[in-house]
Structure formats: C-alpha cells, structure tokens
Amino acid sequence: MTIDWMKYRYLYIVFSLLIIIPGLFSLIFYGLKLSIDFTGGSVLTLSDSTVIHQKYITQQQADELVEKLQEKDKDLKLVSFETIGPSMGQETTNKTISAVLLASLLLLIHISHAFKQLKFGVCAILAMLHDSLVLLGIFSLLGHFFNIEIDLLFVTATLTVLSFSVHDTIVVYDRIRELQRHTSNLSMYEMANQAVSETMVRSLNNSLTIIFMLLALVLLGGDTTRYFALALLIGTISGSYSSPFTAVPLLAIWDDLKNRKK
C-alpha cells in the first residue's frame, strides 16, 4: 500500500521551519547557556545539594569558602568541585566545531559513495543539520527559560544524534536505491512515496524502542546524565521525523528544481 506522502512535501518543510525558527531566534538573541566546560570557571556542589557557580578558583579558595559556610551549618561538606581554566574552555569549543565539521564531511562522503549520487549525501546532511538545529534551538530556549546548561556531554549527545539521524535516513534511502535498481520507469516522487510507505512501520517501531530506553533514562536516571539523555531523546525524535519528512522530501524537491530548470 503506497500513500502519497510526497504530496505534502513543502508542508513538512514548513512544519520543520516552525520548530527551527523560534530556536534559531533564541540562538541569535539569547545564545546558548554554556557550562564551565566552555567558558572556564568553577562549580561547587555542597552536601545540601546547593550549587555555587564561581569564577576560576583553586581548591584552597574553595575550601576556604566552604569553611565560611560551615559557620552557619556545621554538617555542610563539599561533595564535588570542578574548576576549569579559561584557556581550556576555548579549546573545547574549537574541538567541538572541528568534530562536527569532520563528522559532516566524512558522512557526506560515505553516503554519496554508498548511494552513488551526491544528492543523497547532500540531502542526508541537510536533514542532519535540521536535527542539530532543532536540538540546539530547543536547548537554547531551555537554557534561557530553565537555566539548563550545555556541557561536554551535550556535545557527545549532539554528535550521537547526528549519526542516528544519518543512520535512520540511510534505511529509507536504501529503499530508493533498491527501487532504482529494480525499476527504471519510476520518478523520484513515486520512489520516495513507495520508500516512505514501506519503511514507516519500521521507523516508528525502531524509534519507539530507542525512545523507551531514553525516556527511562530521563525520568529515572541519575541527575548527572538527565540532560544528556534529554538531548538524546529530543535528537532521536527529530532524527526519526527528519528521515521520511525532511531527507526524502528534499530528494523530491531536488528533482522538482532540476525539472523546472529544464
């Protein structure tokens, strides 16, 4: 059974933009709330679970600070202390950017090679960018309104989401590749419809299993990994959506544009 999914191809793009644009505005006006992994500084967590943010201080200064606080509450202890020099922060930012660029480049080469056409690579990377913009935008808003910070783990989550997004897209593209091999008279529009129809159940089921796991981590997992799991969850949902509703429609739109030129 083939459903005419591609009829609404421009609508999907509009829907994506509805989510991306507010996030993009937030990114431009509020930016991201960066943790000390990027900015440098110190964070002290006390036994009564208060968290103190400071400029870069040493262990000695931290101990003095805790001693002062102990005058009020004797049982107070320093549970965790983290301090990062400003130069290290800048370095992390640079490394993150190079990791994302390198990942995009290698994945572009991998997909273009596996599917023998550059347009597959380009559209898959565009869908991947879509997912990272959704993720960054939502975290920019979360940072502005709920003080949720972006740390090194978030970078890991983002890169994982990028690979998941591509992973998911490849499964749908694989159907188009198969159809290209076995039939010669189908247009990209028709192939796209058939591929999306045939993989829809699989995409839903697969995403559901990963979402079950991540939802458990967000709701029940430890505090230290909660936002990490949340980032993965948002990315997985976006990545699952973007395969049939961004990566594939983009292929159809690519052909629309090509035909119009002719």
Partner 1 sequence: MRHSRGTLYFIIFICVLSLYLNLPQNLNFSKKILNKEFHFTLPRFPRNLNFKKGLDLSGGMRVTLLVDMEKIGEGQRQTALDSVRSVISRRVDLYGVSEASVKTSVAAAQYRLVVELPGIEKPQEALDLIGQTASLTFATPIYKADPASPSGELKLVNFTPSDLTGNDLAAATVTFETQDRQPAVSLKFKDSGRDKFAKLTKEFLGKPIAILLDQSILSAPTVQSEITSGDAIITGKFTIDEAKFLATQLNAGALPVPIKILSQKNISATLGNASLNQSLIAGGIGLAVVAVFMCLYYGWMGFISVIGLLVYGLITAALYRLIPVTLTLPGVAGFILSVGMAVDSNILIFERYREEIRAGKPSAIALELGFGRAWNSIKDANLATIITGLILFNPLEWTFLNTSGSVRGFALTLILGILISLFTGIVVTRTFLRIFYKPKNTKPLILNT
Task: Find the shortest distance in angstroms from Cβ 172 to partner 1.
Answer: 9
Enclosing H/E stretch for 52: strand 51-54
* Strand 41-46 versus strand 78-84 pairing type: antiparallel
Q: % helix / strand / coil in the chain, to the nearest 5? A: 75, 5, 15
In the DSSP assignment, the letter for residue 12 is: H
Inter-residue contact 119 to 254 (CB < 8 Å): yes
Q: What is the dihedral of CA 232, 236, 238, 242, to 10 degrees?
A: 140
Residue 114 C-beta: closest distance to partner 1, Å: 5
158-172 in b/e form (b: 16+ CB < 10 A) is: bbbbbebbbebbbeb
Tell me the closest approach of the beta carbon of residue 70 to partner 1, in angstroms.
Answer: 15
- If the CB atoms of residues 12 and 164 are measured against partner 1, the closer one turns out to be 164
Which residue, 59 or 183, is less far from partner 1 as judged by CB? 59
Task: Give 58 or 259: the residue with its C-beta nearer to partner 1.
Answer: 58
CB of 53 to partner 1, least distance (A): 15
Shortest approach of partner 1 to residue 4 CB, angstroms? Answer: 20
Q: Toward partner 1, which CB reaches closer, 11 or 105?
A: 105
Would you say 26 or 193 has its CB closer to partner 1? Answer: 193
